[in-house]
Structures are given as structure tokens and as C-alpha cells.
């Protein structure tokens, strides 16, 4: 290379270096702009966060420690808490057993009237729980199947079984929608590869589909459990409010609020602590892979 070419090469390299530096500066994100956007997003979300947090904080603040301890240790509270935990856990297990085939069927097969079935599954989400309780009461009460069971001294309404049936009715859509999303997320290539290797539908489900969809299934089960634990209207209409038999925590809060407000506040605080603790433990044990969300 001669001297002239060397002289002309240096300015070019300097210009290219300057252009590279300018490009890097232009490509660098505007940190101040991101910070201001984050602050605006927080301010926009603050009204809803306060609206959700302040009433819960009010319940906790109103639950004075002395009154809380005196009411929590009473047998009625212990009985209502026991019924709520047992019924919600049993209902969640039932929902998983009967809801998994529905979720798998809706996610893998196309058929005529699928939109109608999908709407029917979502219907309990739109209907008020009182309607669910009334519908179950008309079907399984003395006006329906119950009149045929009465000669055999069998009864469904106003029993612990009615509590389970009401909770399953209102909680099943939460699980089915979440599990269906998990089954739909399984790549079809993996299922086809399993079939080409000689695995049948059931083996493919247990070895391929279920492990991949497990986080969504667990999230749906947790949401169904939480929904069953907090159910009030359907349980009150179909199962009644018999202490020690069908009175769950939400029903106990309602029945005591009219006669003993401090006791109702103590019950609400207990229910809040139990729900918060269970959901927190599930998140810790399951990790972030559960993907628990408020919407199914």
C-alpha cells in the first residue's frame, strides 16, 4: 500500500468509527423515557390497586386483636373453617377428575356445536351464584329428584353433599378454561412423534401432554379451590346455613354480620389469612411455572 492510500484510509476509518459510535448512541435506549413511562403506568394502575387493597386492609385493621382471638377460638368458627377447607379441597379434586376430560376434548377435537358447548361451560361465570343455587335446588330438591329420594330417607339439598355440588358447579369453569389452555399449548409435533414411535393415545397423554400442561392444570386446580372456598350464594340457596353441617365461612360471615359485626369481621379476617397463606404457599412450592392468574 502506498502513502497516498494510507493517508486516505485513516480519515475513512475515523469517519467509520465516528459513525459506529453515533449508531451505538442512537441504539442505546432512552433510560429517562423508560423511567417516565414506568411511572405513568404505575400511576395509571394505582386507582385499581388501591381499590383492591384498601378494603382488605380495612378488614384487617378492624379485626382488633382482642376481639379476633375471642371469636376465632369459638366452636362455630372452627366448624365453619373446617367445613370450608374440607369442602373446597374435595370440590377441587372432583373438578379436576371430571373437568380434565372436558378440557382435553375441547382442546384437541373439532365438532359441530363446539361453540355452544364452550358457551355452556362459560355460563356459570356470567350467571350470578344465586341462580346456580336456585337451579340446583329445583333439580335436586323436593320439586325435582328429591321427591323420589324422600321415600328412601335420602336427601340432597340442605346437606353437606349440596355444599360440594354447589361449589363444583361454580368452580368447574375456572379449571376447564385453564386446563384447556395448557392442553392447547402442547405442540402437535410432539404428539405426532409419540404416535409414530408406537405410543397410544393414553400413553401419549400421560408421557407427553400431561407433563407439558401440568403448570396450567395445577393453576386451574388452585383457582377452582379458591373459587369453591369463597362461594356464598349457591351454597346458601342449595345447602342452607346449618352450623356444623353446611355453614361455610362465607355463609357464617353473612349470618353473623346482622347480629354480631365484630364476629363477622373476625371471620372475614380468618378467611382472608387462610386464602392468602394457601395461595402464597402454592406459589412458593409450584414456582412461577404455575402461572396462576385472576382470569381463566
- One DSSP character per residue, 29-72 reads --HHHHHHHHHHHHHHHHHHHHHHHHHHHHHHHHS-HHHHHHHH
User: pLDDT averaged over the chain?
Assistant: 80
User: Averaged over 120-145, what is the pLDDT?
Assistant: 90
User: Averaged over 5-29, what is the pLDDT?
Assistant: 47
The superfamily CATH assigns to domain 66-290 is: MetI-like (1.10.3720.10)
255 or 199, which is more confident? 255
Find, among 172, 166, 155, the residue nearest to 235 by Cα. 166
pLDDT at site 27: 46
pLDDT at site 171: 94
Work out the end-to-end distance of the chain between its first and last CA atoms, rounded to an integer number of angstroms: 70
User: Averaged over 125-145, what is the pLDDT?
Assistant: 90
User: Averaged over 188-200, what is the pLDDT?
Assistant: 81
pLDDT at site 94: 97
pLDDT at site 138: 92
pLDDT at 147 over 70: yes
184 or 21, which is more confident? 184
C-alpha cell at 26: 442512537
pLDDT at site 48: 87
pLDDT band at 170 (very low <50, low <70, confident <90, very high): very high
pLDDT at site 29: 52
pLDDT tens, 77-90? Answer: 788 889 999 999 99
Angle value at C-alpha 42, between 41 and 45, nearest 5 degrees: 85
pLDDT tens, 44-88? Answer: 888 888 888 888 777 777 766 656 666 666 777 788 889 999 999
Q: In this prediction, what percent of the chain has a pLDDT beyond 90?
A: 28
pLDDT tens, 239-250? Answer: 988 988 899 999
Assess contact for 270 and 106: CB atoms under 8 A. Answer: no
pLDDT band at 196 (very low <50, low <70, confident <90, very high): confident
Q: How many CB atoms lie within 10 A of CB 262?
A: 16
Highest mean pLDDT among 32-36, 118-122, 145-149, 280-284: 118-122
1 or 48, which is more confident? 48
Amino acid at each position: 500500500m502506498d502513502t497516498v492510500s494510507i493517508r486516505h484510509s485513516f480519515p475513512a476509518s475515523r469517519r467509520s468509527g465516528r459513525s459506529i459510535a453515533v449508531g451505538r448512541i442512537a441504539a442505546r435506549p432512552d433510560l429517562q423515557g423508560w423511567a417516565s413511562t414506568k411511572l405513568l403506568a404505575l400511576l395509571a394502575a394505582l386507582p385499581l390497586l388501591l381499590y383492591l387493597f384498601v378494603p382488605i386492609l380495612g378488614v384487617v385493621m378492624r379485626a382488633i386483636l382482642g376481639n379476633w382471638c375471642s371469636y376465632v377460638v369459638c366452636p362455630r368458627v372452627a366448624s365453619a373453617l373446617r367445613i370450608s377447607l374440607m369442602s373446597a379441597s374435595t370440590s377441587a379434586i372432583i373438578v379436576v377428575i371430571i373437568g380434565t376430560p372436558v378440557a382435553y376434548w375441547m382442546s384437541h377435537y373439532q365438532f359441530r356445536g363446539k361453540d355452544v358447548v364452550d358457551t355452556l361451560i362459560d355460563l356459570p361465570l356470567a350467571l350470578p351464584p344465586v341462580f346456580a343455587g336456585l337451579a340446583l335446588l329445583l333439580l335436586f330438591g323436593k320439586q325435582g329428584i328429591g321427591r323420589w329420594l324422600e321415600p328412601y330417607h335420602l336427601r340432597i339439598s340442605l346437606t353437606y353433599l349440596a355444599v360440594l355440588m354447589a361449589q363444583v358447579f361454580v368452580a368447574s369453569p375456572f379449571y376447564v378454561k385453564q386446563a384447556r389452555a395448557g392442553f392447547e399449548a402442547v405442540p402437535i409435533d410432539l404428539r405426532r412423534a409419540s404416535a409414530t414411535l408406537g405410543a397410544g393415545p393414553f400413553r401419549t397423554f400421560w408421557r407427553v401432554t400431561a407433563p407439558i400442561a401440568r403448570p396450567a392444570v395445577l393453576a386451574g386446580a388452585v383457582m377452582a379451590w379458591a373459587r369453591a372456598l369463597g362461594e356464598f350464594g349457591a351454597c346458601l340457596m342449595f345447602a342452607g346455613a346449618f352450623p356444623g353441617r353446611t355453614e361455610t365461612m362465607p355463609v357464617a360471615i353473612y349470618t353473623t354480620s346482622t347480629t354480631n359485626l365484630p364476629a363477622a369481621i373476625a371471620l372475614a379476617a380468618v378467611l382472608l389469612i387462610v386464602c392468602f397463606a394457601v395461595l402464597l404457599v402454592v406459589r412458593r412450592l409450584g414456582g412461577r411455572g404455575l402461572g396462576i392468574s385472576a382470569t381463566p
